[in-house]
Protein backbone atom coordinates (compact mmCIF):
# COMPACT_ATOMS: atom_id res chain seq x y z
CA UNK A 1 0.00 0.00 0.00
CA UNK A 2 1.37 3.45 -0.91
CA UNK A 3 2.19 5.86 1.90
CA UNK A 4 -0.75 8.03 2.96
CA UNK A 5 -0.62 11.77 2.42
CA UNK A 6 -2.10 14.03 5.07
CA UNK A 7 -2.59 17.78 5.31
CA UNK A 8 -1.85 19.21 8.77
CA UNK A 9 -3.79 22.43 9.30
CA UNK A 10 -2.09 24.86 11.70
CA UNK A 11 -5.04 26.42 13.53
CA UNK A 12 -3.31 29.66 14.48
CA UNK A 13 -1.21 32.49 13.05
CA UNK A 14 1.01 32.78 16.13
CA UNK A 15 4.65 32.86 15.02
CA UNK A 16 6.03 30.65 17.80
CA UNK A 17 2.97 28.41 18.12
CA UNK A 18 3.25 25.22 20.14
CA UNK A 19 0.44 23.81 17.97
CA UNK A 20 2.59 24.27 14.88
CA UNK A 21 5.45 22.62 16.75
CA UNK A 22 3.19 19.70 17.65
CA UNK A 23 2.33 19.17 13.98
CA UNK A 24 5.99 19.51 12.99
CA UNK A 25 6.81 16.87 15.59
CA UNK A 26 4.16 14.57 14.12
CA UNK A 27 5.57 15.24 10.65
CA UNK A 28 9.01 14.04 11.79
CA UNK A 29 7.84 11.31 14.14
CA UNK A 30 5.60 9.62 11.58
CA UNK A 31 7.80 10.26 8.53
CA UNK A 32 8.19 6.53 7.91
CA UNK A 33 4.42 5.98 8.05
CA UNK A 34 2.87 8.92 6.21
CA UNK A 35 3.67 12.11 4.34
CA UNK A 36 2.40 15.05 6.39
CA UNK A 37 2.35 18.53 4.83
CA UNK A 38 1.74 21.53 7.06
CA UNK A 39 -0.76 24.13 5.84
CA UNK A 40 -1.09 27.63 7.32
CA UNK A 41 -4.43 29.41 7.75
CA UNK A 42 -2.97 32.92 7.85
CA UNK A 43 -3.16 35.26 4.86
CA UNK A 44 -6.82 34.73 4.01
CA UNK A 45 -9.07 37.82 3.95
CA UNK A 46 -11.83 38.15 6.52
CA UNK A 47 -14.79 36.05 5.41
CA UNK A 48 -17.59 38.32 4.19
CA UNK A 49 -19.81 35.94 2.19
CA UNK A 50 -19.38 37.72 -1.16
CA UNK A 51 -22.48 37.65 -3.33
CA UNK A 52 -20.52 36.65 -6.40
CA UNK A 53 -19.32 33.52 -4.52
CA UNK A 54 -15.72 34.52 -5.28
CA UNK A 55 -13.41 32.38 -3.17
CA UNK A 56 -9.84 33.66 -2.63
CA UNK A 57 -7.15 31.94 -4.67
CA UNK A 58 -5.37 30.92 -1.47
CA UNK A 59 -8.49 29.11 -0.24
CA UNK A 60 -8.90 27.39 -3.62
CA UNK A 61 -5.27 26.23 -3.48
CA UNK A 62 -5.80 24.96 0.06
CA UNK A 63 -8.96 23.15 -1.01
CA UNK A 64 -7.15 21.48 -3.90
CA UNK A 65 -4.47 20.08 -1.60
CA UNK A 66 -7.03 18.94 0.97
CA UNK A 67 -9.10 17.17 -1.69
CA UNK A 68 -5.99 15.38 -2.97
CA UNK A 69 -5.01 14.23 0.52
CA UNK A 70 -6.05 11.04 2.31
CA UNK A 71 -7.00 12.95 5.43
CA UNK A 72 -6.51 16.09 7.49
CA UNK A 73 -4.98 16.68 10.92
CA UNK A 74 -5.99 19.92 12.63
CA UNK A 75 -4.13 21.32 15.63
CA UNK A 76 -5.96 24.05 17.51
CA UNK A 77 -5.10 26.21 20.48
CA UNK A 78 -7.86 27.28 22.86
CA UNK A 79 -8.90 30.94 23.13
CA UNK A 80 -11.67 31.61 25.66
CA UNK A 81 -12.75 27.94 25.45
CA UNK A 82 -13.10 28.14 21.64
CA UNK A 83 -11.02 27.80 18.49
CA UNK A 84 -9.18 30.90 17.22
CA UNK A 85 -11.06 33.27 14.93
CA UNK A 86 -8.45 32.78 12.21
CA UNK A 87 -9.19 29.05 12.09
CA UNK A 88 -12.94 29.66 11.93
CA UNK A 89 -12.28 32.16 9.13
CA UNK A 90 -10.34 29.57 7.12
CA UNK A 91 -13.04 26.93 7.62
CA UNK A 92 -15.68 29.46 6.49
CA UNK A 93 -13.83 29.99 3.20
CA UNK A 94 -13.29 26.23 2.86
CA UNK A 95 -17.05 25.66 3.00
CA UNK A 96 -18.29 28.52 0.82
CA UNK A 97 -19.16 27.07 -2.56
CA UNK A 98 -16.42 24.46 -2.10
CA UNK A 99 -16.43 21.39 0.13
CA UNK A 100 -12.89 19.94 0.32
CA UNK A 101 -13.48 18.62 3.84
CA UNK A 102 -16.70 16.82 3.01
CA UNK A 103 -16.37 13.12 3.92
CA UNK A 104 -12.67 13.72 4.53
CA UNK A 105 -11.20 11.86 7.54
CA UNK A 106 -10.07 14.37 10.17
CA UNK A 107 -7.99 13.96 13.31
CA UNK A 108 -8.08 16.76 15.90
CA UNK A 109 -5.18 17.56 18.23
CA UNK A 110 -4.20 20.53 20.34
CA UNK A 111 -1.62 21.96 22.73
CA UNK A 112 -1.86 24.66 25.36
CA UNK A 113 0.02 26.16 28.28
CA UNK A 114 -2.76 25.18 30.71
CA UNK A 115 -3.15 21.84 32.43
CA UNK A 116 -6.44 20.98 30.72
CA UNK A 117 -5.08 21.26 27.20
CA UNK A 118 -7.52 22.27 24.47
CA UNK A 119 -10.50 20.13 25.43
CA UNK A 120 -13.23 22.74 24.95
CA UNK A 121 -11.67 24.12 21.77
CA UNK A 122 -11.54 20.62 20.33
CA UNK A 123 -15.20 20.12 21.18
CA UNK A 124 -15.99 23.44 19.50
CA UNK A 125 -13.97 22.47 16.43
CA UNK A 126 -15.79 19.13 16.18
CA UNK A 127 -19.12 20.98 16.14
CA UNK A 128 -17.91 23.18 13.28
CA UNK A 129 -16.54 20.24 11.29
CA UNK A 130 -19.81 18.37 11.74
CA UNK A 131 -21.87 21.27 10.36
CA UNK A 132 -23.98 20.71 7.20
CA UNK A 133 -21.68 22.98 5.19
CA UNK A 134 -18.52 21.03 6.04
CA UNK A 135 -19.50 17.45 6.98
CA UNK A 136 -16.03 16.13 7.68
CA UNK A 137 -15.59 12.61 9.00
CA UNK A 138 -14.09 13.25 12.42
CA UNK A 139 -12.37 10.33 14.09
CA UNK A 140 -14.46 9.54 17.20
CA UNK A 141 -13.10 9.15 20.73
CA UNK A 142 -9.75 10.54 19.68
CA UNK A 143 -9.18 13.73 21.65
CA UNK A 144 -5.45 14.39 21.93
CA UNK A 145 -4.59 17.17 24.35
CA UNK A 146 -1.09 18.30 25.28
CA UNK A 147 -1.46 20.32 28.47
CA UNK A 148 1.36 22.29 30.14
CA UNK A 149 3.04 22.05 26.76
CA UNK A 150 6.12 24.07 27.70
CA UNK A 151 7.06 21.34 30.19
CA UNK A 152 6.82 18.45 27.70
CA UNK A 153 8.16 20.04 24.50
CA UNK A 154 11.93 20.48 24.39
CA UNK A 155 13.99 23.12 22.56
CA UNK A 156 14.06 20.92 19.46
CA UNK A 157 10.28 20.62 19.35
CA UNK A 158 10.19 17.00 20.52
CA UNK A 159 7.74 15.57 23.03
CA UNK A 160 9.59 14.36 26.11
CA UNK A 161 6.70 12.68 27.91
CA UNK A 162 6.68 8.96 27.04
CA UNK A 163 3.00 8.53 27.84
CA UNK A 164 2.05 11.39 25.53
CA UNK A 165 4.16 9.87 22.76
CA UNK A 166 2.61 6.42 23.27
CA UNK A 167 -0.87 7.93 23.22
CA UNK A 168 -0.09 9.82 20.02
CA UNK A 169 1.32 6.66 18.40
CA UNK A 170 -1.86 4.77 19.26
CA UNK A 171 -4.14 7.52 17.97
CA UNK A 172 -2.20 7.89 14.73
CA UNK A 173 -2.42 4.15 14.15
CA UNK A 174 -6.17 4.41 14.74
CA UNK A 175 -6.36 7.35 12.34
CA UNK A 176 -4.63 5.35 9.61
CA UNK A 177 -7.21 2.61 10.13
CA UNK A 178 -10.02 5.19 10.26
CA UNK A 179 -8.91 6.46 6.86
CA UNK A 180 -9.11 2.94 5.46
CA UNK A 181 -12.61 2.47 6.88
CA UNK A 182 -13.70 5.88 5.58
CA UNK A 183 -12.67 4.85 2.06
CA UNK A 184 -15.40 2.22 2.23
CA UNK A 185 -18.11 4.64 3.43
CA UNK A 186 -18.97 6.08 0.02
CA UNK A 187 -22.69 5.27 -0.24
CA UNK A 188 -23.92 8.63 1.09
CA UNK A 189 -21.17 10.77 -0.44
CA UNK A 190 -23.20 11.81 -3.50
CA UNK A 191 -26.15 12.81 -1.30
CA UNK A 192 -23.88 14.82 1.00
CA UNK A 193 -22.57 16.82 -1.93
CA UNK A 194 -26.05 17.36 -3.36
CA UNK A 195 -27.38 18.57 -0.02
CA UNK A 196 -24.42 20.90 0.45
CA UNK A 197 -24.96 22.40 -3.00
CA UNK A 198 -28.61 23.05 -2.24
CA UNK A 199 -27.93 24.55 1.21
Tell me the pTM.
Answer: 0.92
Per-residue pLDDT of the chain (199 residues), as tens digits, is 689 999 999 999 999 999 999 999 999 999 999 999 999 999 999 999 888 889 999 999 999 999 999 999 999 999 888 999 999 999 999 999 999 999 999 999 999 998 878 999 999 999 999 999 999 999 998 889 999 999 999 999 999 999 999 999 999 999 999 999 998 876 565 556 556 554 4
Distance CA 178, CA 137 (A): 9
How far apart are the two ends of the chain, measured CA to CA in Å? 37
DSSP state of 135: -
Element (H, E) at 167: helix 162-184
Residue 101: name the closest of 111, 86, 87 by CA: 87
Backbone angles phi, psi at 54, to 5 degrees: -75, 115
Domain coordinates in residue numbering, the chain: 4-198
Q: Is the dihedral of CA 141, 63, 127, 125 positive or negative?
A: positive
Paired residues of 39 in beta bridges: 9
pLDDT of residue 194: 58
Distance CA 9, CA 7 (A): 6
CATH H superfamily, domain 4-198: Flavodoxin domain (3.40.50.360)
Distance CA 132, CA 94 (A): 13
Amino acid sequence: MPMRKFIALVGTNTTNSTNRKLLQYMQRHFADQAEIELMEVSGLPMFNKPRNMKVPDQALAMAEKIEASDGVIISTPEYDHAVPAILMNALAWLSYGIQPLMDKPVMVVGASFGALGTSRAQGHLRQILDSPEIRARIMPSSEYRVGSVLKVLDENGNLTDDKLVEHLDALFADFQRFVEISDELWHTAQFDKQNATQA
